Amino acid sequence: MGKTDNAVTIDAPLDFVWETMNDVENWPNLFTEYAKSEILERNGNTILFRLETHPDPEYDNKVWSWTSERTVDPETRTAKSRRIDLQNIPYERMEIEWYFEPREDGTEMRWVQDFAMKPESPTSEEEATEYLNRNTRIQMGVLKERLEEAAKAQAG
């Protein structure tokens, strides 16, 4: 089993970061890796959604697609996601916990990813951990930049 744990501090208020990051339909405008996001079902604080990536240059321009379930807890400012449809991806299991905490200089957003690779996956757990850490840091940098810009624009 693999695990990654990454965080970034965004110079924006907690409520703004929380609300923006939980607008899953808007993820293609926030993340550089997602081409499409579709909400399939809503049930209270839980959504079922489908993501599709842009072609992945590290994997022969493969377009990855999967269905996930995400439950948010507004009281604790946490979200838990798990991938449900794993047919088109090399993971046997993928769960992500999101934590949002106020800091003096903004909001810390932390992602903890627990996963296991399929036995037939061409990628080892070590390679997957390296890939996830690298890509997570890239995406967090993009999100930091985009959320800080949006927060400044909203503040006027």
Q: What is the pLDDT of residues 81-140, one digit of tens each?
A: 999 987 778 889 999 999 999 999 999 999 999 999 999 888 899 999 999 999 999 999
Dig out the tokens for 156 from the structure: 């006027």
d(CA 73, CA 78): 5
Q: Using alpha carbons, list the distances in angstroms from residue 6 to 14, 15, 90.
A: 18, 20, 21
pLDDT tens, residue by residue, 55-71: 988 778 989 899 999 99
Tokens 């501090």 appear where?
9
pTM: 0.91
Beta strands in 11-156 (DSSP E): 34-43, 46-53, 65-73, 78-85, 91-103, 106-117
Collapsing DSSP to helix, strand or coil, 97 comes out as strand
Q: Structural domains in the chain?
A: 2-155 (3.30.530.20)
Listed in sequence order, the residues at least 6 apart from 152 whose beta carbon sits closer than 8 Å to its beta carbon are: none
Q: Which residue, 8, 62, 17, is CA-closest to 35?
A: 62
Question: What is the longest distance spanned by two Cα atoms in the chain?
Answer: 52
